[in-house]
Amino acid sequence: MKESFYNYICELQDTITAALELADGGASFKEDIWERHEGGGGRTRVLEDGVVFEKGGVNISGVHGTLPKSMQTHLNVSEASFYACGLSLVLHPKNPMAPTVHANWRYFEMYDLDGNIVDQWFGGGLDLTPYYLFEEDAIHFHQTCKNACDRHDPKFYLEYKKKCDAYFWNTHRDEARGLGGLFFDYLKPTPKRSLEEWYAFVTDVADNFLEAYLPILDRRKDLAYTEEQKKWQEIRRGRYVEFNLVHDKGTLFGLKTNGRIESILMSLPPKVQWHYDYQPEKDSPEAMLMEVIMKPKNWIS
């Protein structure tokens, strides 16, 4: 399974980066192949200062070794070794009318001291973080997520949408990071669903990422905007940074397993602002966004 999924994410990275370069129309991804001293490595691709994207990254990695003490405690296990691979992407468009998007799909195996697999699971999802609210964009994104889920189980969309709303919650701010999407973790083989069936579900969701995001980007990337709207984008990006550094499990896992810092922090936008107790004007477009940020909404029936 680990070979199948790693080969899949290698191909997916090629597909997504080619589509994003076409969407940007100017910049290309810079590739950085790296090795991890403890075992494994990855292929980082970053695009900066493009026509459409201020910064974007699409990374893959496959790492292995002894499970660190911090992760042993987190997973409630004794000495063990692990293998983890996945693709992670974050895109920050220049235009504040176009949303930031994040996605991640990963696979994890854990072994006993004799090298036997004792646990294995899939995780991942995708979520949208706009700076200005366009309801048709939110509906399109969530409908695409639901379509992929429904092909495997009609209960999946609501279950993983709720988990996404709960996960991407900035608890120290008591607000969502964005408008959500899907989040799933610890998708393990059971008598009801095999590991191969979970593989089919996760890859189906991943295969539909471009359909979920590119139509939104195409609608918003050339809209006019003001300096004040750009300022709002950078203020909201600050909340994005806060979540990633304080709460995000993927970031924390990378930091605790001696991950490659440049790849881990690839998700951070290049320009961010923090203002003391900044509040948008009442009934403004910025305040409209905050209404759904403070209380997650069901975008489709």
Active site residue 37: no
> What would the DSSP string read from start to end of 171-234?
TTTTEESSSEEEEEEEE---SSS-HHHHHHHHHHHHHTHHHHHHHHHHHHTT----HHHHHHHH
Q: If DSSP codes are grouped into helix, strand and coil, which group holds residue 237?
A: helix
Contact in structure between 131 and 236 (CB atoms under 8 Å): yes
Contact in structure between 171 and 247 (CB atoms under 8 Å): yes
The encoded tokens of residue 63 equal 């790492």
- Is the dihedral angle over the CA atoms 288, 294, 295, 300 positive or is it negative? positive
User: Active site residue: 37, 64, 92, 102, which one?
Assistant: 102
Identify the helix (H) or strand (E) that includes residue 82: strand 81-93
In the chain, the amino acid numbered 31 is E
Positions marked active-site: 102
